[in-house]
Amino acid sequence: MAEIFVSLGSNIDRDHHLCRAATALRTTFGKIAFSPVYESAAVGFDGPPFYNAVAHAETDLDLDAVLDKLRRIEDAQGRVRHADSFHSRTLDLDLLLYDDLVLETPTVALPRDDILRFAFVAAPLADLAADRCHPVSGVRYADLWAGFDRSAQPLTRIAFDWTTAA
C-alpha cells in the first residue's frame, strides 16, 4: 500500500466542489483523512479566493493510475485546463506525495514543489502529517510550516464540515 497526499483547491463554487471531490476521493481510495480547510488569495492572477486542503489515503494503485484518477475527478467537476496555471478553477487536485518517492519527469514531480512554495499547501499538509519528513530535505512538515513567511501568504482557517460530503 502506498500512502498518498493530495492537495485540493477551488475558487469556483468552493463548498460544492470540495464536497464533490471528497465524495469522489472516498469512492476511489476508501478511507480518507482531510485537513482543515483554509481560504487564501488567488496566487499569480486576480480571482476569487480559494479554499484549500490536503487529503491523505492509502492505495494499491500505482503512480500513473493515481494521477489518472485525480485527473478524472477534476474533469468530472468541470475543470477547464489552460496553457498556464494561473486561472480560476472548479477543482484542482495535485498529488503532493506518493510514499517517499522522489521523481521528476515531464509530467510529474514528486514530492511536489508546492509543499515548499505555498502556505496553502504547507499548512494543511502540516496539519495532517506534522511529524512526517519531506523526502528530499528531511525536515518535518510541522517545522517547514513553522518557518513559512505567513505575512507574504496569509491564510484563514475556515469552518468546513467534511462529513457533509459523505
Q: From first to last of its 166 residues, what are the pLDDT tens digits of the chain? A: 999 999 999 999 999 999 999 999 999 999 999 999 999 988 777 789 999 999 999 999 999 999 999 999 988 887 666 545 666 888 899 999 999 999 999 889 999 999 999 999 999 999 999 999 999 999 999 999 999 988 888 999 999 988 775 4
- Homologous superfamily in CATH for domain 2-165: 7,8-Dihydro-6-hydroxymethylpterin-pyrophosphokinase HPPK (3.30.70.560)
Q: What does the pLDDT read at residue 70? A: 96
Q: What does the pLDDT read at residue 44? A: 73
Q: What does the pLDDT read at residue 95? A: 97
Look up residue 117 and give its three cell numbers: 512554495
127 vs 17: CA distance, rounded Å: 21
Q: What does the pLDDT read at residue 150? A: 85
Q: What does the pLDDT read at residue 162? A: 80
The rounded Cα 125 to chain-centroid distance in angstroms is 8
Q: What does the pLDDT read at residue 125? A: 98
CB 10, CB 90: distance < 8 Å = yes
Q: What does the pLDDT read at residue 81? A: 61
Please write the tens of the pLDDT for every residue from 19-38.
999 999 999 999 999 999 99
Cell numbers 464533490 label which residue?
A: 20
CB atoms within 10 A of CB 75: 13
For residue 121, CA distances in Å to 2, 65, 67, 83, 166 come to: 20, 23, 18, 22, 23
Q: What does the pLDDT read at residue 82? A: 57
